[in-house]
Amino acid sequence: MTKLSLLDLVPVTEGSDVATALANAADYARTAETLGYQRYWTAEHHGMPGIASAATSVVLAAIGAATSTIRIGAGGIMLPNHAPLAIAEQFGTLEALYPGRVDLGFGRAPGSDQRVAQAMRRNLAGGADQFPRDVMEVQAYFAGDDRLGFTATPGAGANVPLWILGSSLYGAQLAAALGLPYAFASHFAPDALDSALAIYRRDFRPSAQLDKPYAMAGFNIFAADTREDAKLLATSMMQTVVALRTGTPGRMPPPISGYYESLPPQLQSMVNNFLSCSAIGTHDDVARDLSAFVERTQVDEVMVTGATFDPNARKRSITIAMEAAQSLGLAKAA
């Protein structure tokens, strides 16, 4: 049975603020838990006026306090920004607070640009090239490896499953080599999805954490009671994507009727590519497109995302999405 989970970047909308975004995130996670989603993840992004999840472990601590059963995790931590020990301590603390509920996914990008990477106070020499070593160092802290010469406290002995995230073939190769679960960011970078999954499954080597491949892929869902309402919801994300790709990121704007049609052809093409792994429409539309995505990818889990301007519309969207998945037998009723 295919599991459904949620990725939330904690959007800050126009006319709102970070405090409201964080309160909305907690409410969103509670709704997801009630609906039966497997996990709630958020991700590290920096210098983005419309994203409030930069301090990822702090956000997850608040989400853990607001929920009781749903898994919480990072999808992901951009490890080149951090000392591996600090991440082991942070997620060891989360696991102590919320035992059996914490995931830790790693990405190798900075989560913004090189100015931000420099501002993170990390030595940029080597950069992402040190990523495999840093992942294994975090593993060693959690394992309490004697060769480290000291014990990470919190951290040592923490039961925190590690994931490798990616939007290219590199992450697939690393996840396979380390025997870790793999999550592909097809919700915004779909081009290498099929190739990455094939490489991951072909080259997977069993590990102490995982005995066979386990793959997740991102999928946007904008669902509403009518197609027109769903298409309108999606225009906030379209505007956000266009602003980001044209170098003018800002807070998430309200939806605009006819926005997609107003774009020049080159921007329509960019939006189409960005949202090519998506379902926009009613229950039946979501069921059709989600079924096709799962059939195509054969993933073990779908990471649903799809930020909207109205938090109530977003909760309605994930409700319809779960109902559609249940109608297909892809998820159990909560």
Whole-model pTM: value is 0.95
Mean pLDDT to the nearest integer, 224-246: 97
> Which tops the pLDDT comparison, 329 or 182?
182
What is the per-residue pLDDT for 331?
73
CATH topology of domain 3-226+277-327: TIM Barrel (3.20.20)
pLDDT in tens, 39-73: 999 999 998 999 999 999 999 999 999 999 999 99
Burial class (CB in 10 A: 0-12, 13-18, 19+), 27: middle
294: pLDDT strictly greater than 70? yes
334: pLDDT strictly greater than 60? no
CB 78 within 8 A of CB 116: no
pLDDT in tens, 106-133: 999 865 667 777 777 655 555 557 999 9
What is the per-residue pLDDT for 110?
66
21: pLDDT strictly greater than 70? yes
Mean pLDDT to the nearest integer, 272-284: 97
CA distance 54 to 59: 8
204: pLDDT strictly greater than 90? yes
Question: Average pLDDT, whole number, for the chain?
Answer: 94
Mean pLDDT to the nearest integer, 308-324: 98
